Amino acid sequence: MTIDNLSHVLPLSADSTDQGLLQIGGCDVKSLANQYGTPLYIYDVQSIRELAMNWVQAFADAYPDSEVLYASKAYISRPFARLLSELDLSFDAVSEGEIEVLSAANVDLSRVYFHGNNKTPPEIYRSMQLGVGRIVLDGFDEIDTVAQIADDLGITQPVLLRVSPGVDAHTHEKTTTGILDSKFGLPIETGLAELAISKIIEKPALSFRGLHMHLGSPIFDLEPYKLGIEVLAEFIDEICIKKLGVSVEEFSPGGGFATAYRDSDDPPAPKEYAKIICKTLIDEAEKRNFSLPHITLEPGRSIAARSGIAVYTVGNRKEVPGIRTYVSVDGGMSDNIRPALYDSIYEVIAAERVNDPVEEKVTIAGKYCESGDLLAKDVDVPRLISGELIAIPSSGAYQLAMSSNYNLAYRPAVILVENGQSRLMQRREKAEDLMRLDID
């Protein structure tokens, strides 16, 4: 497989040397692996910037008043946050930890939206003390808690309400969120969303700004966004405005925008998502005669995934005649749980000889003590030799973010590359990191 056949999954700056060595950001992966070790996560600055700006541009072209929030849960660290805030993006955060990292990166916290189906009172307190711009309420107890803390701090907290439109976005069952049977969002259908808004508007310490929905992730179809927005538009018109007398100044259709993991994946472009989202909202607002809200979009995966690539060193090989050949690498489910959790499928590249012909089908196994620790099943590769490098593209989202110390693995080093230069973004963990919490 040549890199030309992988143009949907590789970082935008990907190239190869005449010798067939994969290059990202003008740096060859062999030299990077020598310098930083493997497993290694490489983020391409050009991709981060261009993919993020594609979202900003697509919505700026399709709607008068939009704001793109990067969904920090896909991957965040201080340097990564700085890169995105330099591009003038805002942020979605789901924990005190993410908010602390954004704060330490000097992100303007008034541009942070705090989500989550069960934010704890200390998290809420800390977020409000730091001045997060919006809290996206997702439960009745939380309405009381946020109002109480706002009172204590002597502030009025702007809030949105996360509602569930009852729309199935046909994602993996573990990542679908907009249906009735979900822990996320107050359902419109059962009347809970209406009840929550009546409760919010009774609280002087809360300023109701609008509604949020998020249908799931990754969503390859455009239709669910249209259906969800239609449900919300009816709710805005009939319940919020006509029945409760509140206006909806802000609206978020969430994130969940798809990215390619296999080169054959063909996700819609940002401008296609922008078109369906903005057109549906504009048409509904016109039909129902309400003014257009400020909209916020929350892409995470569609910025981070393709910007990042994971590099591993090949180790043991085991042939089970007539059944399968296992090629083990020096990482696995501790840095990428997605194949084990969602049966996610990835491309695999022989990173030092990208132009070599396919010779066999192998299964790339991780090194951790679990049979399900397989990174890629039955992939076509040249005959892989112990000591050589493989690369797995589209590795920038929800891999490091969901990484663990299972088997007391050290989390990998993470680097940024651009214009032939590399720099460490997060160093590899070492033994003392694993013991830093022990009380001995």
Tell me the catalytic residues: 369
Q: Residue 255: name the closest of 396, 117, 78, 68 by CA.
A: 68
Question: Toward ligand LLP, which CB reaches closer, 124 or 351?
Answer: 124
For 250, the 3-state DSSP assignment is strand
Can you tell me whether residue 78 is helix, strand or coil? Answer: helix
Residue from 54, 217, 334, 422 in contact with ligand LLP (CB under 6 A) = 217
Question: How many other C-beta atoms can be found within 10 angstroms of the C-beta atom of residue 145?
Answer: 19
115 interacts with ligand LLP by CB under 6 A: yes
- Residue 287 CB, nearest distance to ligand LLP (Å)? 27
Residue 395 is a binding residue for ligand LLP (CB under 6 A): no
According to the binding rule CB under 6 A, does residue 134 interact with ligand LLP?
no
Least CB distance from residue 345 to ligand LLP, whole Å?
12
DSSP string, 254-272: E--B---SSTT--PPPHHH
Is 308 a binding residue for ligand LLP by CB under 6 A? The answer is no
Cα–Cα distance measured from residue 224 to residue 7, given in angstroms and rounded to the nearest whole number: 27
Q: Does 268 bind ligand LLP (CB under 6 A)?
A: no
Total residues in contact with ligand LLP, by rule CB under 6 A:
22
154: its two tokens: 């002597």
Measured N-to-C along each axis, helices 270-288 and 223-235 cross at an angle, to the nearest 10 degrees, of 30
Among 175, 182, 207, 247, binds ligand LLP (CB under 6 A): 175
Chain residue at closest Cβ approach to ligand LLP: 300
Q: Is 302 in the site for ligand LLP (CB under 6 A)?
A: yes
For residue 311, the minimal CB distance to ligand LLP (Å) is 20
Q: Is 185 in the site for ligand LLP (CB under 6 A)?
A: no
**180 versus 402: smaller Cβ distance to ligand LLP:** 402
114 binds ligand LLP (CB under 6 A): no
Residue in 25, 210, 253, 256 binding ligand LLP, rule: CB under 6 A: 256
Q: Is the dihedral of CA 108, 109, 110, 116 positive or negative?
A: positive
Tell which one of 119, 209, 226, 338 touches ligand LLP (CB under 6 A). Answer: 338
Find the helix or strand (DSSP H, E) in which 226 lies. helix 223-235
For residues 25 and 299, which CB has a smaller minimum distance to ligand LLP in the complex? 299
How far apart are alpha carbons 331 and 327 in whole angstroms?
12
Given the rule CB under 6 A, which of 12-20, 37-45, 294-302, 317-325 is the region that contacts ligand LLP?
294-302
* Per CB under 6 A, 300 contacts ligand LLP: yes
Task: Count H helices and E strands in the chain, helices first.
Answer: 12, 21
Candidates 9, 74, 159, 197; binder of ligand LLP (CB under 6 A) is 74
Q: What is the dihedral of CA 335, 339, 344, 349, to 10 degrees?
A: 60
Which helix (H) or strand (E) element contains residue 157? strand 157-164
Q: Which of 206, 211, 241 is nearest to 229 (CA)?
A: 211
Of 86-105, binders to ligand LLP (CB under 6 A) are 92
Complex with ligand LLP: residue 11 or 254, whichever CB lies closer: 254
CA distance 1 to 14: 14
CA distances from 413 to 127, 352, 426 (A): 29, 20, 6
Q: Does 398 bind ligand LLP (CB under 6 A)?
A: yes
CB 94 within 8 A of CB 114: yes
Between 228 and 254, whose beta carbon lies closer to ligand LLP? 254
Shortest distance (Å) from residue 303 CB to ligand LLP: 8
Q: Is 301 in the site for ligand LLP (CB under 6 A)?
A: yes
Binding residues (CB under 6 A) for ligand LLP: these are: 71, 73-74, 92, 115, 175, 214, 217-218, 254-257, 298-302, 338, 342, 398, 402
